[in-house]
Structure 1
């Protein structure tokens, strides 16, 4: 028996569209991260980018469980003393809902060069329309 390792030249990247309407944020992010990494394929190799492109639409309709809608916060720091900035989940959802899904998926990818390369395969949009129709993406309904 021989273990096969996927080369980046042999990887096939497909395009998928996911509708985030009424989906739970964390559960959807896990499925998207697995699809972007290629963990759902039999040719998965940890050191190679063998995943697919994922386009998420209706980012503003994402749901969270429990009291996260009121309590969850997003933090940024300028690296200067007193430079901590805090934004509540509900404010981010109103201003830039794409950021919520991007941050959830980014946290589930490897923290290295390969993870940054994989993250570029995630496209998140507010509303129904997206500019990737020419790639003929397949509609994907993850089982959550």
Structure 2
């Protein structure tokens, strides 16, 4: 049996619409990430973009567990001295 490697010509992409209302943030984001990378497909190839398109609706109504809504802080850095930024959920 020969190993098949995907390329740009053989990749077929689908559109997925995800309704985020009353879904848990972490579980939904892992499923979306797998769809974007194409890991749910049999022809997944790590060095080729085999992923699908994902549209998320009702993202403002997503559920978070625990105290993340009030206590979670996200940080990102610009790469320059003093460039750390933080936002809350």
Q: Could you state the TM-score of these two structures normalised by the residue count of structure 1? A: 0.57
| Whole-angstrom CA distance in 2 between matches of 1:17 and 1:27 | 16
What is the CA distance between 1:25 and its match in structure 2? 0.7
Structure 1 unaligned spans of 5+: 90-144
> 1 or 2, which has the higher helix percentage?
1
Q: Distance in 2 between matches of 1:86 and 1:50?
A: 33
Q: For 1:42 and 1:57, locate their aligned partners in 2 and report how far apart those are by CA, in whole Å.
A: 27
**TM-score normalized with structure 2 length:** 0.90
1:103 equivalent in structure 2 = none
Aligned residues: 88
Q: Flag the structure with larger Rg.
A: 2
Q: Does 1:77 align with 2:62?
A: no
> What runs of 5+ residues in structure 2 fail to find an aligned partner?
none
Residue 66 of structure 1: SS of its match in structure 2? Answer: coil
Residue 9 of structure 1 deviates from its aligned partner by: 1.2
Q: Which runs of 4+ in 1 moved over 6 A?
A: none
RMSD: 1.2
